A and B are shown apart, each in its own frame.
Chain A
Amino acid sequence: MRPDLGRHLRLERLLAGVLRRGTWLATGVIALGLALTLIGWPDSTAAVTMTSARIVTLGVALFILLPVFRVLLMMIVYVREGDYCFGAIATLVLAIIILGAALGVHMAGAMPG
């Protein structure tokens, strides 16, 4: 058995970089949104509050998408290298996550409030 068979150093470094930068991006967006909320608070016009709340929501959405993007990257790299078995496994994980989100949308429509 080749001992280093399971290693994929290049992909591991790629994922490390994406996760680190993505965390800072999402954190920065949330911080910006919250800071705007604080600044806009004392004489809040409805417009300012809406915008800052949307920025916070965007940051939260970025955090949720970050691991999903990580799975997508793994899928692309595995498929490009001809490792179709692991490409399929990554696709399955992606499909389950997307199914969950689709069911969530469906349930939100079914039970308002």
Chain B
Amino acid sequence: MSPGFGAWLFAGSAVASAVGGTLGMASGIFIVPILIALGVNIHAAVAASLVSVIACSCGSAAPFLKGNLTNIRVAIVLETATTLGALSGVLIAGVLPAPFLLFLFAAILLVSAWQMMARRRERVAETEDSNLRDWATALRLHSSYPDQALGRDVYYRVRRVPLGLMLMFAAGLISALLGIGSGVLKIPAMDTALRLPIKVASATSNFMIGVTAAASAAAYFARSDIDPAIAGPVALGSVLGALLGAQLLMSVPGERLRLVFVAVLIALAVQMLFSAITIHAGAHAT
């Protein structure tokens, strides 16, 4: 590794992670495009990014756990599906051509941009039907979390676990293929399928992201697909960037930042589409 290249990786990851952290988003979605822009091929970029995804998930888990927002029972149940998805992703990643992965990445970036624009809102609590016999009740997944605004504990019931598991399999697959945490897919899945409150969904998604990424990263690592010379500086930059991002989150006004973020996501999507088409055209020309 040349120290200059390592410094670029470190700085790029720190910025990506700080920007992502400012909006409560994992850094992977920025790190892969940055690595590709620095000339790393997409398969190596994905493998290195997964390590930083783990770092960010583990590094930010403690406050959520101590704030009683993370539902660890829901997490471990859903992790059976995300890790299986991740495993499937690792198995097919080598077969899929780079342009396909770039197209998929661009699509995920656009979905993220759309999600940023659409304001998340809390659902009105539904009527309590406590005699309901379903998976969530059998597994004792229902729980509560302390709501700061209301100043009391809010109880919630978990719904439609089988649908949640299917969506989580897809999220794990995408995570392994693209080197992202796919919180962008996990949070809506928990919101719409399981009907978790948004804060619980974000905290639990963040908690699960580490294990999901570890499942694919362990396989890539065993296959010697992870280059420490790339993954090391990227992970270090991500952790420090995430710390910085958490500080900025307190001070930067939200609305303008959201628009900047959407613009960046769309720009990255265009860049990914462009390189996908270039590679595709190049492959046909030769």
A contacts, CB < 8 Å to B: 1, 3-9, 11-13, 15-17, 19-20, 22-23, 26-27, 30-31, 33-34, 37-38, 41, 53, 56-57, 59-61, 63-68, 70-71, 74, 85-86, 89-90, 92-93, 96-97, 99-105, 107-108
Question: Main SS of the interface on chain B?
Answer: helix
CB under 8 Å from chain A, chain B span 57-92:
57-59, 61-62, 65-66, 68, 70-74, 76-77, 79-80, 83-84, 86-87, 90-91
- A89, B80: Cβ atoms closer than 8 Å: yes
Q: Known contacts being A64-B221, A104-B90, is A97 close to B214, with CB within 8 Å?
A: yes
Q: Which of B3, B155, B222 has the most CB of A within 10 A?
A: B222
- B6, A34: Cβ atoms closer than 8 Å: yes
Binds A, one of B36-44, B223-231, B264-272: B223-231
- When distances are taken between beta carbons in the complex, the residues of chain A under 8 Å from B220 are 104
Question: Which of B77, B214, B224, B231 is in CB contact (< 8 Å) with A89?
Answer: B77
* Closest B residue to A17 using CB positions: B62
Q: How far is the CB of B75 from chain A (nearest CB, A)?
A: 9
Q: Known contacts being A60-B228, A61-B221, is A37 close to B3, with CB within 8 Å?
A: yes
How far apart are the CA atoms of A74 and B210 in the complex, in Å? 14
- When distances are taken between beta carbons in the complex, the residues of chain B under 8 Å from A104 are 90, 218-223, 225
Q: How far is the CB of A28 from chain B (nearest CB, A)?
A: 10
- B211, A70: Cβ atoms closer than 8 Å: yes
The yes or no answer to B35 lying at the interface (CB within 8 A) is no
The contact sample of 7 A-B pairs, CB cut-off 8 A, is A1-B130, A16-B61, A33-B232, A66-B214, A71-B79, A89-B80, A107-B94
- Chain B 179-208 per-residue mask, 1 if CB under 8 angstroms from chain A, else 0: 000000000000000000000000000000
Question: Which of A20, A31, A93, A107 is in CB contact (< 8 Å) with B80?
Answer: A93
How far apart are the CA atoms of A93 and B216 in the complex, in Å? 13
Nearest 7 CB-CB pairings of A with B: A104-B222, A6-B143, A104-B219, A67-B210, A16-B65, A100-B219, A56-B232
* Closest B residue to A110 using CB positions: B223
Q: Known contacts being A12-B72, A34-B236, A68-B218, is A41 close to B87, with CB within 8 Å?
A: no
- When distances are taken between beta carbons in the complex, the residues of chain A under 8 Å from B70 are 12
- A15, B77: Cβ atoms closer than 8 Å: no
Q: How far is the CB of A77 from chain B (nearest CB, A)?
A: 10
Question: Which of B55, B61, B76 is in CB contact (< 8 Å) with A63?
Answer: B55
- When distances are taken between beta carbons in the complex, the residues of chain B under 8 Å from A30 are 232, 235-236
The yes or no answer to B167 lying at the interface (CB within 8 A) is no
How far apart are the CA atoms of A1 and B233 in the complex, in Å? 49
Q: Which of B83, B84, B91, B153 has the most CB of A within 10 A?
A: B83
* Closest A residue to B84 using CB positions: A96
- B211, A64: Cβ atoms closer than 8 Å: no
- B90, A100: Cβ atoms closer than 8 Å: yes
Question: Which of B76, B213, B219, B224 is in CB contact (< 8 Å) with A71?
Answer: B76
